[in-house]
Amino acid sequence: MQIMKKITNNLGLKIISVICAFILWLIVVNIDDPVVSKQYTGIEVSVKNETVIKNQGQTYDILDDTNIITVTVKAKRSLLSNLRKSDFEAVADMEEIMYDGYVPISVSCSNPQISADDIVPNIRNMKISIENMETKQLAVMTSTTGTPADGYAIGKIKISPNVVRITGPQSVVGQVNKVMVMVDVDRCSSDLDTKIKPELYDANDQLITNSRLTISEKKISVQVQILETKSVPLEFSIDQTTKNGYRYNGIEYNPETVLIKGEHSVLAGIDSIQIPSTAFDISEATEDVEEAIDVTKYLPEGAELYDADAANIAVTIHIEAIQQKTITIPVGNITINGLPEGYEIEFLNGENVEVEISGTSADVLALTEDQIVGEVDVSGYEEGQVALPVNWTFPEGISQVSATLLWMNIKHTEPQVTVTEEPEEEETSQKSSKTSKSEASETGSKEKTSNTKDNTKKDQNSSEKKTSLEEEDDSAGDSEGSETQDSQEEESPVIDVTSDSAIDG
């Protein structure tokens, strides 16, 4: 009883005391750990039950960035100080989608002391647009970056697969213009084999990064062939047949060399690119012919141009009118071949011959007589007059219109004897000697004649003896005369008839 009395004694005061104590406790607690508000930004809204839309052959697109929200949390400071953005989960459930394209966003916290009522999002509904799904099939294109090593070039590029399917919202898929794989070939000197992620580009070559698009292939297999390069000259074959009165006068072309690429075994056998005569027709041309030819048609098998855009070669074929002219050439410009020893040539045409030539105006104007030389072959011809054609040699650009006949007289060379002139005293001595010998010869002859007469008179009575004696005398006389003549010939000197002094002597 006493205990109850103590408890109930001044009961009102005691209740008031308890209430005051509680209030005091609340005051102390709030002063030490108050309830405050704090914002957490950049919380991404995850979408739940997407199949609700996809099963209808549709897709959605989030508008106005309403999938990124900021939440304000009201709680004790001690709780908020330990919370992070990752502690919150924002969910938009497609099953709760409203007719106007809004999906409610619910936010929860991983800390159970924070209730949903303590969290206030700045965006309560995610705004979406719904449209039909579309799938587009496109060929995969390739592009290279960088430059291969010196002396090398990019060859063929093979990709697998070469076609992919792009799926996504109809409006976004419609923006996709091409699918590209970018291959880095910088400093490559051998074949390249790699896998590359495909990229989507619009008509303005802008990269499309929409996450709502899916590509059927995550990676594309790429094989790049690396070839050697070689610079080779162009060589033209020209059918120089032209219209009468005109002629082909050279060719100009630019560039004069092309850079080709290919396997080492192929390039090793290529020293030039041959352009055949069938590439041009100048048979009716009366002025320069200007054309552009595609050199790729004449590349050997296995070779290709380093730069496909450099296929055209600018060609100019010069056609000029022909001018004819008759010029006079000295016979001294003509060489006689095959003339036997002991013969000489007398030119019957005179000192000059006329030659009819043709060429362009510039070539004919610049021509001089010393630039034209000729040859005549007289082998097999005997003494007498002959007319033989001259084989002329002309400068480049000059040709002969008609044959030139050279009239010649082939004759023996007159003999020439060399005379040695003797001193005047020896010449006088030789003359005196000749005179003495001549007088002695005459005296001997007279004596022999007198003896013969005497013998004849003495033997007149005997005819046989007379005849015998006359024969003996005649024989003796002839013998002596012959001996005298031989002696004179042996002693007479040789005279050169070609010397004026000798002939005068």
Residues 448 and 475 in one domain: yes
Residues 192 and 151 in one domain: yes
User: How far apart (Å, rounded) are the C-alpha atoms in residues 108 and 116?
Assistant: 6
Percent of the chain exceeding pLDDT 70 equals: 78
Does residue 176 register a pLDDT over 60? yes
Residue environment code for 75-95, b if the CB has 16+ CB neighbours within 10 A, otherwise e: beeebbeebeeeebebbbbbe
Structure tokens at 297: 């048609």
Q: Domain containing 82 — which CATH number?
A: 2.170.120
Peptide bond into 389 cis (omega under 30): no
Name the region of 181 (left: φ>0; alpha: ψ -120 to 50; beta: rest). Answer: beta
Judge contact between 159 and 222, C-beta under 8 A.
yes
Residues 166 and 85 in one domain: no
Residues 137 and 224 in one domain: yes
Residues 331 and 390 in one domain: yes
User: How far apart (Å, rounded) are the C-alpha atoms in residues 348 and 212?
Assistant: 106
Q: Please indicate, yes or no, whether the overall pTM of this predicted structure exceeds 0.75.
A: no
Residue type at 208?
I
Residues 347 and 284 in one domain: no
State the pLDDT at residue 31: 60
| Residue range(s) defining the domain that contains residue 41 | 35-123
Nearest to 367 by CA among 318, 322, 325: 325
User: How far apart (Å, rounded) are the C-alpha atoms in residues 31 and 481?
Assistant: 188
Nearest to 69 by CA among 48, 32, 41, 49: 41
Residues 138 and 215 in one domain: yes
The mean pLDDT value for 106-124 works out to: 92
Query: Considering the domain boundaries, does residue 426 fall inside one?
Result: no
Query: Considering the domain boundaries, does residue 429 fall inside one?
Result: no
Query: Considering the domain boundaries, does residue 434 fall inside one?
Result: no
Q: Domain containing 173 — which CATH number?
A: 2.170.120.40
Nearest to 176 by CA among 144, 216, 145: 216
Residues 89 and 155 in one domain: no
Query: Considering the domain boundaries, does residue 421 fall inside one?
Result: no
- The residue written with tokens 């497609």 in the block is 94
State the pLDDT at residue 36: 87
Query: Considering the domain boundaries, does residue 405 fall inside one?
Result: yes
Instruction: Give the end of a domain, one of 70, 94, 123.
Output: 123
Select the more confidently predicted residue: 280 or 442. 280
Residues 138 and 218 in one domain: yes
Judge contact between 196 and 181, C-beta under 8 A.
yes
Does residue 142 register a pLDDT over 60? yes
- Give DSSP secondary structure letters for 94-122: GGG--TTSEEEEEEEESSTTS-GGGEEES
Structure tokens at 363: 């070539």
Query: Considering the domain boundaries, does residue 427 fall inside one?
Result: no
User: How far apart (Å, rounded) are the C-alpha atoms in residues 335 and 337?
Assistant: 6
Nearest 5°: the CA angle 271, 293, 144 is 70
Residues 87 and 144 in one domain: no
- Give DSSP secondary structure letters for 418-457: ---PPPHHHHHHHHHHHHHHHHHHHHHHHHHHHHHHHHHH
Query: Considering the domain boundaries, does residue 182 fall inside one?
Result: yes
Does residue 483 register a pLDDT over 90? no
How many structural domains is the chain composed of? 6
User: How far apart (Å, rounded) are the C-alpha atoms in residues 26 and 32?
Assistant: 10
Instruction: Give the end of a domain, one of 63, 92, 123.
Output: 123
- Give DSSP secondary structure letters for 227-283: EEEEEEEEEE-------TTEEEEEEEEE-SEEEEEE-HHHHTT-S-EEE-GGG---T
Predicted confidence (pLDDT) per residue in 35-94, tens digit: 889 999 999 999 999 899 888 888 888 899 999 999 999 998 888 888 999 999 999 999
User: How far apart (Å, rounded) are the C-alpha atoms in residues 272 and 304?
Assistant: 13
User: How far apart (Å, rounded) are the C-alpha atoms in residues 287 and 232?
Assistant: 30
Instruction: Give the end of a domain, one of 269, 299, 321.
Output: 321
Residues 368 and 451 in one domain: no
pLDDT tier at 434, thresholds 50, 70, 90: very low
Query: Considering the domain boundaries, does residue 92 fall inside one?
Result: yes
C-beta atoms surrounding 480 within 10 Å:
14
Residues 62 and 136 in one domain: no
